[in-house]
Amino acid sequence: MNATVNANEARKIRLVMQLRQSGIQDIEILNAIERVPREHFIPEAMSDQAYEDIAVPIGLGQTISQPMVVASMIEALELTDRHKVLEVGTGTGYQACVLAKLARRVYTIERHRPLWGIAEANFKELQMRNITTLCGDGMKGWPKIHGIEQAPFDRIIVAAAAREKPPTLLLEQLNIGGIMIIPVGEAGSQMVKRYKREADDTYSIQDIMPVRFVPLLPDIARDKPTSEEKERVPA
């Protein structure tokens, strides 16, 4: 057991050094990645790949994104510990935990009920008390629950690709001065974009990096994924 822990620690340090050498300069993000046990969020049979800079399958046609993609997208958010963040696409909860080490509060939505359940269990086991989860339609943003409105958010990050532009309902949940990071485009030509809300109907847009993500889809997923949901290329 100790040998496994030591091996993971060595791989984790190597990954953090690799991310830094690849251009991730924010020390807080690197520290957060070092503090979140990525092996906890992937199938046990693939735990030896937890600290490789690759996407890892987690079932239902989904993956945990490549650490470099996670770090780059979070760096583009310009997070502080005062920010309230909305994440669309929880998966098993890895990115939400990294965000929770950096932000005041994280609200995260997952459309696949089995993954949502796994994420909930992971957050509880790791005692991540500043994360709130929901199984729902992330394209609609965070709904009013029991009459309580959490929107607008200081930051929004989306782990699936919008076809042409971010959903209007998501944009409307962004604070003035807030930042949304979201992949946009069809498979094979996707770009992570940074939207900053300058005024009610004014957004500045910046390209961050090319990526490959599952398409952003509406509604809660059915028990068996459709062919479109299986259109998963590692991100």
Q: Which residue has the tokens 């994440």?
A: 87
Give Cα 162 to chain centroid, integer Å: 14
Range of the domain at 111: 54-211
- Our answer to whether residue 65 is catalytic in this structure is yes
Q: Which two tokens stand for residue 73?
A: 């997208």
- Domain membership of residue 161 (yes or no) is yes
- Domain membership of residue 15 (yes or no) is no
d(CA 4, CA 109): 32
> Residue 184 maps to which CATH number?
3.40.50.150
- Domain membership of residue 20 (yes or no) is no
How much is the pLDDT for 231?
46
Catalytic residue among 65, 189, 204, 227: 65
d(CA 130, CA 218): 26
**pTM, rounded to two decimals:** 0.92
How much is the pLDDT for 229?
46
- Domain membership of residue 107 (yes or no) is yes
- Domain membership of residue 113 (yes or no) is yes
- Domain membership of residue 157 (yes or no) is yes
How much is the pLDDT for 235?
52
- Domain membership of residue 125 (yes or no) is yes
Q: Are 120 and 112 within 8 A, CB to CB?
A: no
How much is the pLDDT for 8?
83
d(CA 145, CA 32): 30
- Domain membership of residue 23 (yes or no) is no
- CA torsion sign, 192 to 232 to 110 to 36? negative
How much is the pLDDT for 6?
75
Count the Cβ atoms, other than its own, within 10 Å of residue 29: 24
- As for how many domains the chain has, the answer is 1
How much is the pLDDT for 198?
97
Extract the residue ranges of the chain whose pLDDT is less than 70.
1-5, 223-235
